[in-house]
A = this chain, B = another copy of it.
């Protein structure tokens, strides 16, 4: 597990909750994973990978591990061969969804801005 630690080092994060949250959520793919998972009861590893265009195995794995460590997602291994693993968001994570809705809507307008400029 390398290049896998949190993006932002502590200290100010212990005072500012917004910074603290970014420390946990700020990876390139983390919010996208949460957002994607939030639309399903659960998703398998490769399903999730197919949903998130451009993500690689390592990045998906690393991101999932970080999110799991922070109790934002549940990992359920059905202990079968071939493997069957399902991911879902936790109740803790649900609290963030209203924020993600807003960010998603806001992001849409940014894509329009971007298109209009190019």
Contacts and interface: CB of A to CB of B under 8 A. Distances in A.
Q: How many interface residues does chain A have, given as a range? A: 35 or more
Copies of this protein in the assembly total: 2
The DSSP consensus for interface residues of chain A is helix
**When A and B form their complex, which 10 residue pairs have the shortest distance between CB atoms, in order from nearest?**
A17-B107, A21-B107, A99-B102, A12-B54, A99-B99, A20-B107, A17-B108, A21-B103, A17-B104, A18-B35
Given A11-B53, A98-B102, 14 more contacts: A12-B32, A12-B52, A13-B111, A16-B107, A18-B32, A19-B32, A19-B107, A21-B103, A21-B104, A21-B106, A21-B110, A22-B26, A99-B102, A99-B103
Interface of A: 7-8, 11-22, 24-26, 28-29, 31-32, 35, 52-55, 70, 95-96, 98-100, 102-108, 110-111, 114
